[in-house]
Amino acid sequence: MTRTAIVTGAARGIGAATAIRLAADGCAVAVLDLDEAACADTVQAITDAGGQALAVGADVSDAAAVAAAVDRIAAELGAPTILVNNAGIIRDNLLFKMTEDDWDLVLSVHLRGAFLMSRAVQKHQVDASWGRIVNLSSTSALGNRGQANYSAAKAGMQGLTKTLAIELGRYGVTANAIAPGFIVTDMTRATAERMGVGFDEFVEHMAKEVPVGRAGAPDDIAAAAAFFCSEEASFVSGQVLYVAGGPTA
Ligand code: NAI
């Protein structure tokens, strides 16, 4: 049977790779991002490969927009039973320079976004007695200089994941988190810019710290997401999988 999946923040980066991978695995995929037009490339990549995709514009931190988006996806693509909460932003600064807006915005996109999306999708999962939720955490959940807001949000994603697993397990729904290490995307490109270093140099520097000797790619995360979303992962729930090319502290 064709499952309908929603991947948030899927216009680019890890979300795009995950959307493309889930489509290759047979899902109809809602490619959701802030701006519907920005989803065109991901949708094109899926349809060019023979898959089914729908571009959806919505801000995941906006409750009304989330409810409308999930209703539209259910009507146009089928009831969504797979959800990947991937949308994210960074607003890095040392604590003494961090503004309240930067704190609120980061918590809002990651945590409130994952809450709103999960709440909207769970009714379709419960109706189907089957579902998969995958939340994007980060190695920053363990603490990272300059990321008080982001690390709090990413640690929060782990608590949310475990509670969703407990509450929704009886309905055949699993919830798991992926905590990536350093992945080459626009997000890490922005980090390099903020630090005033060239991206290639930054990637090379970061890769030296990784036991497998390379930076991560969006497909590395997509592969982990594909496992959690698979039929055969039905007994794996409430877990946090660090995908970082080595162990984490
Ligand atoms: P990215 O910045 O390349 O892509 C994020 C996407 O989310 C963008 O397309 C953006 O428009 C979208 N987005 C932002 N706010 C949104 C909102 N309110 N509603 C809907 N969409 C929104 O980021 P990347 O690197 O692909 O990261 C994806 C996820 O993985 C994020 O949650 C990030 O925190 C996490 N992550 C990334 C790591 C990395 O090294 N790149 C490491 C650990 C975690």
CATH number for the domain harbouring residue 85: 3.40.50.720
Whether residue 47 lies inside any domain: the answer is yes
Q: Is the pLDDT of residue 169 over 80?
A: yes
Whether residue 197 lies inside any domain: the answer is no
Radius of gyration of the chain (CA): 17
C-beta 151 within 6 A of ligand 1: no
The alpha carbon of 203 and the centre of ligand 1 are apart by a number of angstroms equal to: 18
pLDDT at 158: 98
Task: Find where tokens 């390099």 sit.
Answer: 192
Q: Do the Cβ atoms of 82 and 131 come closer than 8 Å?
A: yes
pTM of the complete model:
0.99
For the chain, the 3-state helix, strand and coil shares in percent, each to the nearest 5, are 55, 20, 30
pLDDT at 55: 98
Whether residue 167 lies inside any domain: the answer is yes
Q: Is the pLDDT of residue 174 over 80?
A: yes
- Summarised one tens digit per residue, pLDDT across range 29-40 is 999 999 999 999
Q: Which one from 115, 150, 202, 228 is the annotated catalytic residue?
A: 150
**Helix segments in the chain, DSSP class H:** 13-24, 40-48, 63-76, 100-107, 113-128, 148-168, 186-195, 199-208, 218-229
- Domain with 74, as residue range(s), is 4-181+216-243
Handedness of CA 70, 106, 91, 207 (dihedral sign): negative
- Summarised one tens digit per residue, pLDDT across range 194-232 is 889 999 999 999 999 999 999 999 999 999 999 999 999
Active site residue 150: yes
- Summarised one tens digit per residue, pLDDT across range 82-126 is 999 999 999 999 999 999 999 999 999 999 999 999 999 999 999
Contact partners, residue 101, CB within 8 Å, separation at least 6: none
Structural domain total, the chain: 1
pLDDT at 38: 98
Please, which contacts does 187-196 make with residues 24 or more away whose CB atoms are closer than 8 Å?
A: 187/13, 187/88, 187/90, 190/90, 191/90, 191/92, 194/92
pLDDT at 194: 87
Among 187, 195, 219, 240, residue to substitute to test ligand 1 (most atoms within 8 Å of Cβ): 187
- List the 80-85 sheet strands across, edge first: 52-57, 28-33, 4-8, 80-85, 131-136, 173-180, 240-243
C-beta 11 within 6 A of ligand 1: yes
Whether residue 187 lies inside any domain: the answer is no
